[in-house]
């Protein structure tokens, strides 16, 4: 009797599994419908097939399947300015309300003036002062609540939509495709990891513990009621950009990725480090060459130069030399946003 029930269960599980798993496995169903056919899409599909086929020389054990993605410019729009910087500017009035003496101090005075031209000319030191004042000093739960409220209310100036709508649909499909094939997907961002962790699970399906970013110190304290709190300190433990990306990957994962996806010079070392591993490694860069549907910036390939998300000729040359794929937004992505 027990044996029969088990046999039945095995039969039934087999049948059910083939029904439910049929969709991603069949050739007919395309896991990346927002990608145009071309070398980039082909490379992704071949990479996934090779690393997950136990009979392949390039098979990668399940536990080692790590894929890392930059966020700004790789998973969502980074122009005209990083979303987290918009958050910092928006928080300035609340900070000044708590510390009124800042109203007459630079750079807070300029931000409060609303003078876009003057704000655009603020130095990196000024920006760091604003970041320090707006992202630290509160406990981590309060910070999470503030970001949650802001991200629900704030709107991008061009599309008049929540910033979280401005994620790239081809990349959301790629994240899902990788996870369906046993890859653990990570964000590795120059932004603050506490900020991105607030919405990463909802927007990208990536849980907080798989978000690596710039790390601010926290200190364990007791509040006035004796309850333990973690206070965000103005102390940078890791600047998770450029060389900081492979460093952050080692600190928080401890394994080398098999796939890394970026879009600018800040991602160079992460891609180098990924490709330097033994076995099959895939490195990709988004090229923003579509001013009509998103933005166009380089300065490689004659595209305009901008401060944010630079893709210079040296990066293009290193991609060619080291075998990284450059993904043209214009040619490789059939559709960019889910709301289109």
Nearer to a second copy, 44 or 211 (CB): 211
Asked if 243 touches a second copy (CB under 8 A), the answer is yes
Contact 301, 251 (CB under 8 A): no
Nearer to a second copy, 81 or 140 (CB): 140
SS3 207: coil
Nearer to a second copy, 63 or 292 (CB): 63
Asked if 238 touches a second copy (CB under 8 A), the answer is yes
Q: For the chain, how many residues are written? A: 340
How far is residue 325 from each of residues 43, 132, 196, 199, 256, measured CA to CA in Å? 8, 37, 26, 28, 19
SS3 232: strand
Chosen residue from 258, 273, 324, 325 binding a second copy by CB under 8 A: 273
Q: Which pair of structure tokens corresponds to residue 328?
A: 């043209």
Q: Which of residues 306-335 bind a second copy (CB under 8 A)?
A: none
Q: How far apart are CA 80 and CA 308, in angstroms?
A: 8
Single out the residue of 48, 106, 78 nearest to residue 196, CA to CA: 78
Asked if 240 touches a second copy (CB under 8 A), the answer is no
Rounded to a whole number of angstroms, the minimum distance from the CB of residue 16 to a second copy is 5
Q: Which pair of structure tokens corresponds to residue 208?
A: 């907080």
Asked if 246 touches a second copy (CB under 8 A), the answer is yes
Chosen residue from 46, 155, 255, 301 binding a second copy by CB under 8 A: 255
Asked if 3 touches a second copy (CB under 8 A), the answer is no
Asked if 1 touches a second copy (CB under 8 A), the answer is no
Chosen residue from 72, 78, 194, 241 binding a second copy by CB under 8 A: 194
Rounded to a whole number of angstroms, the minimum distance from the CB of residue 191 to a second copy is 14
Asked if 208 touches a second copy (CB under 8 A), the answer is yes
Nearer to a second copy, 126 or 139 (CB): 139
Contact 58, 245 (CB under 8 A): no
- Strand 211-222 with 228-238, pairing: antiparallel
Asked if 140 touches a second copy (CB under 8 A), the answer is yes
Q: Which pair of structure tokens corresponds to residue 75?
A: 């998973």
Build a one-symbol-per-residue string for 164-183: x at contacts with a second copy by CB under 8 A, - elsewhere.
--------------------
Build a one-symbol-per-residue string for 34-63: x at contacts with a second copy by CB under 8 A, - elsewhere.
-----------------------------x
Total number of residues that touch a second copy (CB under 8 A): 45
DSSP secondary structure letters along 44-55: HHHHHHHHH-TT
- Strand 184-192 with 259-262, pairing: unpaired
Asked if 119 touches a second copy (CB under 8 A), the answer is no
Name the one residue in this structure whose structure tokens are 């997950």. 52
Q: How far apart are CA 27 and CA 293, in angstroms?
A: 30
Stretch that binds a second copy, among 4-12, 67-75, 110-118, 119-127 (CB under 8 A): 4-12
Contact 263, 245 (CB under 8 A): no
SS3 82: coil
Binding site for a second copy (CB under 8 A): 5-6, 9, 12-13, 15-16, 19-20, 63, 66, 140, 184, 193-194, 197, 201, 207-209, 211, 215, 217-220, 227-228, 230, 237-238, 243-244, 246-247, 250-255, 269, 272-273, 276
């Amino acid at each position: 009797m027990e044996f029969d029930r088990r046999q039945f269960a095995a039969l039934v599980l087999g049948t059910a599994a083939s029904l439910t798993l049929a969709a991603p496995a069949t050739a007919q169903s395309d896991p990346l419908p927002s990608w145009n056919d071309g070398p980039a899409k082909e490379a992704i599909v071949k990479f996934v097939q090779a690393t997950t086929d136990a009979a392949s020389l390039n098979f990668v054990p399940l536990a080692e399947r790590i894929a890392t993605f930059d966020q700004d410019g790789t998973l969502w729009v980074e122009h005209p300015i990083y979303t987290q910087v918009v958050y910092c500017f928006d928080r300035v009035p609340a900070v000044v309300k708590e510390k009124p003496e800042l109203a007459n101090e630079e750079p807070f005075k300029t931000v409060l003036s609303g003078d876009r031209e003057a704000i655009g000319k603020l130095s990196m030191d000024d920006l760091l002062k604003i970041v320090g004042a707006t992202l630290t000093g509160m406990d981590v739960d309060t910070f999470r609540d503030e970001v949650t409220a802001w991200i629900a209310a704030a709107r991008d100036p061009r599309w008049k939509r929540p910033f979280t709508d401005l994620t790239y649909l081809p990349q959301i499909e790629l994240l899902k495709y990788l996870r369906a094939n046993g890859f653990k997907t990570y964000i590795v961002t120059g932004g603050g990891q506490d900020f991105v962790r607030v919405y990463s699970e909802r927007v990208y399906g990536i849980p907080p513990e798989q978000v690596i970013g710039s790390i601010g110190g926290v200190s364990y304290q007791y509040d006035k009621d004796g309850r333990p709190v973690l206070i965000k300190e103005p102390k940078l433990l890791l600047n998770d950009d450029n060389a900081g990306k492979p460093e952050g990957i080692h600190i928080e994962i401890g394994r080398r990725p098999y796939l890394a996806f970026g879009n600018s010079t800040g991602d160079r070392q992460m891609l180098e480090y990924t490709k330097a591993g033994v076995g099959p490694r895939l490195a990709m860069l988004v090229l923003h060459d579509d001013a009509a549907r998103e933005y166009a910036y380089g300065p490689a390939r004659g595209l305009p130069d901008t401060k944010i998300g630079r893709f210079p000729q040296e990066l293009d040359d290193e991609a060619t030399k080291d075998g990284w794929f450059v993904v043209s937004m214009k040619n490789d992505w059939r559709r960019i946003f889910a709301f289109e």
